[in-house]
Amino acid sequence: MVRVQVPATTANLGPGFDCLGMALKFYNIVEMVRLPGGLVIEVHGEGVQDIARDESNVVYRAAMYLFKQVGFDPGGLRIRLINHIPVARGLGSSASAIVGGLMAANILSGNKLSCRELLNMASQLEGHPDNVAPALLGGIVISTTVEGEVRYVKIDPPPGLKVAVAIPDFHLNTRAAREVLPQHVSLADAVFNLGRVALLAAALQQGKLDLLATAMEDRLHQPYRASLVPGMKKVLAAARLAGARGVCLSGAGPSIIALADSNLELIARVMKDTFRESGIMARAMVLEPS
C-alpha cells in the first residue's frame, strides 16, 4: 500500500496570479493499493459530501493518467482519502488531489517519473502551476510554463512567517472565479502588478516583511472577485489593522490569508469576526508554511 501526504497551498499571494504559491502545514493523505478488477474510493474528513467516489474522482483520474503515460495497468484500485483541506475554498484542494494521485500512482508503478515530470504533468492537469508546484515541492514557489514545461524557483519561507486563514463556509469553484476576470487589462494595471510581484518575490527571499503590505497588492484578479466574496475588502482591511504584514485572497477565494510574524491568533479572530459582520460564517486558523 502506498501512502502520500500533500500540503494545502495558497496561490497568487496577491499579485502573483497563476505564478506564485506557498505550501502550508495542513495535509491531505492519499492511500492507494492495487485491487484486482475493481474501484473502491473511500473519503474521510473534508469533502465527504462533495467528492466523487467513481471514475470521475480527481485523485483516480490523475492516477490513471499517469498509469497510461508510463504503460502500467494496475488492474483496479482501492483509494482511501483522508482529507483536511476544505474543498473549493482557495486552499489548493484540487491541486492536492492531482498531486496526491500522481505521486501515489508513480510509486505504485515503480517510480518511473522524476519530480520534474510529475510537476509538468500536474500543471497540465490543473491548467496552471501555482498550486501544484508548492503542493509537490513545498515552500514558496515562483513558476511559469513554457510549452508545457514548468520553470520554477523555490524559496524558503522567511523565518517566523505564519499565515492566518479565514475560510468562509461556502464553496467558490475556480472556474466561476476565473470567469469574472477580464480578458484584457490596462497597461497601468499590468505595470502595477509587475512591480508588486517582483518586489514580493525578492521581499520573501530576503525576509523583508515590511515590504509585504505594498508587495501583496493586486489589480489583476482580486478587484473582480470581490463581488463573489461578501466582506472581502472589509476582511482585508481589518486584518491589516490587526497587524498583518500582507493580506490577500487565497487562490481564487473565498478564503483570505494574512501573513504576519506576530499576533496571528488575533488577526485570525478579527478576520473571522469581520466576515460574520458581512453575514458570512467562517472558520479561522493559524498555519505555518510547509
289: DSSP letter: B
Count of residues near ligand HSE by CB under 6 A = 13
Q: What's the per-residue H, E or C state across 193-228? A: HHHHHHHHHHHHHHCCHHHHHHHCCCCCCHHHHHHH
Q: Whose Cβ is closer to ligand HSE: residue 123's or residue 174's?
A: 174
Which residue of 12, 143, 145, 222 would you call a contact of ligand HSE, by CB under 6 A? 12
Binding residues among 165-194 for ligand HSE as defined by CB under 6 A: 174, 177-178
For ligand HSE, what does the binding mask look like between residues 213 and 242, x meaning CB under 6 A?
--------x---------------------
Q: Does 13 bind ligand HSE (CB under 6 A)?
A: no
Residue with cell 515530470: 117
Q: Whose Cβ is closer to ligand HSE: residue 133's or residue 270's?
A: 133
Q: Which stretch binds ligand HSE (CB under 6 A): 101-109, 126-134, 162-170, 189-197?
A: 126-134
SS3 29: strand
Distance CA 281, CA 290 (A): 27
Q: Whose Cβ is closer to ligand HSE: residue 177's or residue 201's?
A: 177
Q: Does 11 bind ligand HSE (CB under 6 A)?
A: yes
Q: Does 128 bind ligand HSE (CB under 6 A)?
A: yes
Distance CA 188, CA 194 (A): 10
Distance CA 274, CA 287 (A): 19
Distance CA 69, CA 63 (A): 10
Q: What are phi and psi of 131, to 5 degrees?
A: -90, -45
**Site for ligand HSE, rule CB under 6 A:** 11-12, 17-18, 128, 130-131, 174, 177-178, 221, 251-252
